[in-house]
Amino acid sequence: MTNYPHPIIAREGWPFLAISFVLAIAATFWCAAWSIPLWIIAAFVLQFFRDPPREIPQDAGAVLSPCDGRVIKVERIQDPYGQREAILISVFMNVFNVHSNRSPADGKVEKIQYFPGKFVNADLDKASTDNERNAVVLKTVDGQTVTFVQVAGLIARRILCYTKAGDTLTRGQRYGFIRFGSRVDVYLPLDAAVKVSIGDKVSATTTILAMLPQKG
């Protein structure tokens, strides 16, 4: 099953692509040699805003990765948004990863919390509490809480979130985007069975981060 409601290039990148390619084309007509750096920039912008379709695992209780990147933290910690003890899995995105964000689980959005903040390196521990961030607290169909937080990075300057309290999200559904390097923190119930380790490379939607226990 896939979730692919838009072209393969994320709509957030269309203005940047238009500008970069127009400048590169114009420079080519003026001076081909001088246009090379602009074509490199245009190619970078094109790869940054790619947003390919993904297969969506349908395993019961699966919590999917909300983004592409590398796991930099797996630990027991306080979830400041869901007000509980939780397991935190942090995924760091570099500028070469796909930056579209997808819902990790099926459920209803209980609340959205946005916090303005700094733009320190998203690979640092303090990024989770100091940086600009946007938290989504989701109640799954089994009544369990999954919190996922978009965190701005060193050069990220725009967090985009397209969902609101009361919305219903399905696993793999595109709900946001972060421009130019960042991370996503996922807070899970303590009885979740974690399936990834620090250093693992993960892919949005296709990688299962953890399994939630099934009730009943």
Which residues carry out catalysis?
A: 182
Cα–Cα distance, 164 to 185 (Å, whole number): 18
Helix (H, G, I), strand (E, B) or coil at 201: strand
Helix (H, G, I), strand (E, B) or coil at 21: helix
Strands (E), 36-102: 62-64, 69-79, 84-93, 100-102
Q: Return the number of other C-beta atoms located less than 10 Å from residue 28's C-beta.
A: 15
Mark out the alpha helices in 67-156 (DSSP H runs): 127-130
Which residue is listed with tokens 């700094």? Answer: 118
Q: Whose CA is closest to 101, among 142, 133, 61, 65?
A: 65
Q: Return the number of other C-beta atoms located less than 10 Å from residue 157's C-beta.
A: 14
